[in-house]
Structure 1
Amino acid sequence: MTDDNANRIGSTKTSFEIVHALQENGPSRLSEVADQLELTESTTHRHLSTLCDLRYVSRRGELYQIGLRFARLGRAAQTRDPAYLMAKPHVQNLAEETHERAQFVVEDHGLGIYLYLETGSNAVRAGFGIGRQIHLHCSSAGKSILAQYSRDRVDAILDRWGFPSHTENTITDRDAFYEELERVRDRGVAFNREEHVHGLNGTAVPVKQEGEVLGALAVAGPSHRLNGEQLEVDVPDRLLAAANELELNITYSSPDSADDHVVE
């Protein structure tokens, strides 16, 4: 790699770090962004000016903020696979039926991404939003996805992201985690018992497309309410039914499926 290529890649990385800082902090002054990222104000200004010219950042007075042009990119990513869009009504139904928080999560670069999220009437708003990235090892959705992967693929993800401990209940031992994935495979349902957030339990099931895992449907709620039979039986049964219906919808919406199943 030439020095010129290295500089271009580094510059791109800096631009995205600035975008992420604005996303996390909201409208910010140039000096605030520069201080957070330990950049000079002149360098920060060049990046912000370029992002403003491209309409990915907006400026009002001294404050910079995320530009609305990102909305189109986010929508394009969220619907890049037609099957993703088909998951949305199932997430809505699960939230209405359980009165808790329901979501559809996919794996990307070894992390979980919330593509769709709905809150039921009793749902706890724990700060998670669409597009949020999470570690897979400590969430029910992540476990249900990883349980469908080969050992080599799971190893690669764990080697990259490790086992950060979010609570005292987080599994941080690789052998113990593989035993957990085996239980998930055997039952077809994954559980998160306060492993990601204190006071929050969750359960999830995988959604498959042509034999490959597409993502996971999940429901989460406060541990004092989502526990016992509700956690172990009632919600998993709803999730399995929703996943089965979604998989059928995906299969029979395929352009080739109509010809494959015509009865002469």
Structure 2
Amino acid sequence: MEKRAKHPVRTTEKSLKVIAELNRRNGARVTTLANELDMGKSAVHNHLSTLEEHGYVVKDGNTYRLSLRFLDIGGQLRSEMDIYKVAEPQVEALAEESGELVHLVVEENGEGVYLCRAKGDQAVDLDTYVGCRHPMHSSAFGKAILSQLPTERVDEIIDQHGLPRVTSETITDRDALFEALERTRERGFAVDGEERLEGLRCIAAPIRFDSDVIGAISISAPTARIDDDWESNEYVEPLRRATNVIELNKYKI
């Protein structure tokens, strides 16, 4: 179920809608925003002017865009996270060892958020970037994290976000997802057999700090380089070693 503020501030809500629309369009004019958001031009202009004054929006001619202030905030937030401090070197090392694309992902509000990525010398170039979000049920990293959460929390996430189909292989049934999470717990890693993107397979392992799951690390590669014989996959042991090092290095912070 979507969380709602008990006493929402309407002006703040409207500013956030303007920000979201600017982000979706990669910039827009006042008229475009007014039409899309069903707001008056003067109201949209007031929101934009305020955001511009505080450095969150920049104006290029008649077009407004989000400023790099958001990058500054996000970068600082990430740099202060313990999991990033200890995991980033292992993400880089695992990408170099495997030659593939490696991601570090954490859960926030029931979604997977990419915290960092590294590309090996034969890695595919996916549509992922630091900060982007993805449903948990249709990815190896998501299932790795979900497998370590209490059943009640998994149910909450499903109720909030549903189980939308991403590809023909995506799990869209609640019982089937819980069965997949049980298999993940048994073998210690999660798999994604073209559930997020056709032609791509992934494996992922959860990262735990003090008995709590705080993220996952994943390896992604084309189906031509990762077959569906998961138990004998050559990337499983390097993945396990990387997560083990990350969990041990937590105690150095």
Q: CA distance change for structure 1 residues 90 and 36 in 2, over 3 Å: closer, same or farther?
A: farther
- Equivalents in 2 of 1:42, 1:109: separation in Å? 34
Aligned amino acid, residue 149 of structure 1:
L
Q: CA distance change for structure 1 residues 35 and 121 in 2, over 3 Å: closer, same or farther?
A: farther
CA RMSD of aligned residues (A): 1.7
3-state SS, counterpart of residue 28 of structure 1: coil
Q: Which moved more, 1:228-237 or 1:137-146?
A: 228-237
- Equivalents in 2 of 1:133, 1:99: separation in Å? 24
Q: CA distance change for structure 1 residues 40 and 160 in 2, over 3 Å: closer, same or farther?
A: same
Equivalent residue number for residue 261 of structure 1: none
Shift of 1:12: 1.6
Q: CA distance change for structure 1 residues 104 and 163 in 2, over 3 Å: closer, same or farther?
A: same
TM-score normalized with structure 2 length: 0.92
Equivalent residue number for residue 157 of structure 1: 157
Aligned amino acid, residue 166 of structure 1:
V
3-state SS, counterpart of residue 197 of structure 1: coil
Equivalent residue number for residue 218 of structure 1: 218
Equivalent residue number for residue 94 of structure 1: 94
CA contact (8 A) 1:202 1:231 kept: no
Equivalent residue number for residue 64 of structure 1: 64
Q: Which moved more, 1:19-28 or 1:125-134?
A: 19-28
Q: CA distance change for structure 1 residues 200 and 231 in 2, over 3 Å: closer, same or farther?
A: farther
Structure 1 consecutive aligned stretches of length 4 or more whose deviation exceeds 6 Å: none
- Structure 2 residue ranges without an equivalent (≥5): 1-6
Matched, 1:43 2:43: yes
Shift of 1:187: 0.5
Matched, 1:116 2:116: yes
Aligned amino acid, residue 240 of structure 1:
R
3-state SS, counterpart of residue 233 of structure 2: helix
- Equivalents in 2 of 1:22, 1:136: separation in Å? 26
Shift of 1:230: 7.8
Shift of 1:225: 2.1
More contact order relative to length (CA 8 Å, sep ≥ 6):
2
Aligned amino acid, residue 156 of structure 2:
A
Shift of 1:113: 0.2
Aligned amino acid, residue 91 of structure 1:
V
- Equivalents in 2 of 1:69, 1:138: separation in Å? 32
3-state SS, counterpart of residue 153 of structure 1: helix
The one-character-per-residue Cα deviations of 1:48-95 (angstroms, maximum 9, x if unpaired) are 111101101111211211112212210122133223221111111121
- Equivalents in 2 of 1:240, 1:119: separation in Å? 18
CA contact (8 A) 2:226 2:233 kept: no
- Structure 1 residue ranges without an equivalent (≥5): 255-264
- Equivalents in 2 of 1:138, 1:179: separation in Å? 14
Shift of 1:176: 0.8
Aligned amino acid, residue 12 of structure 1:
T
CA contact (8 A) 2:193 2:228 kept: no
After TM superposition, the structure 1 = structure 2 runs for residues 78-227 of structure 1, keeping only pairs within 5 Å, are 78-227=78-227
- Equivalents in 2 of 1:40, 1:225: separation in Å? 54
Shift of 1:228: 4.4
Shift of 1:146: 0.4
Q: Which moved more, 1:12-21 or 1:169-178?
A: 12-21
Percent identity (aligned): 36
3-state SS, counterpart of residue 73 of structure 1: helix
- Equivalents in 1 of 2:144, 2:39: separation in Å? 40
TM-score normalized with structure 1 length: 0.88
Equivalent residue number for residue 248 of structure 1: 248
- Equivalents in 1 of 2:14, 2:121: separation in Å? 41
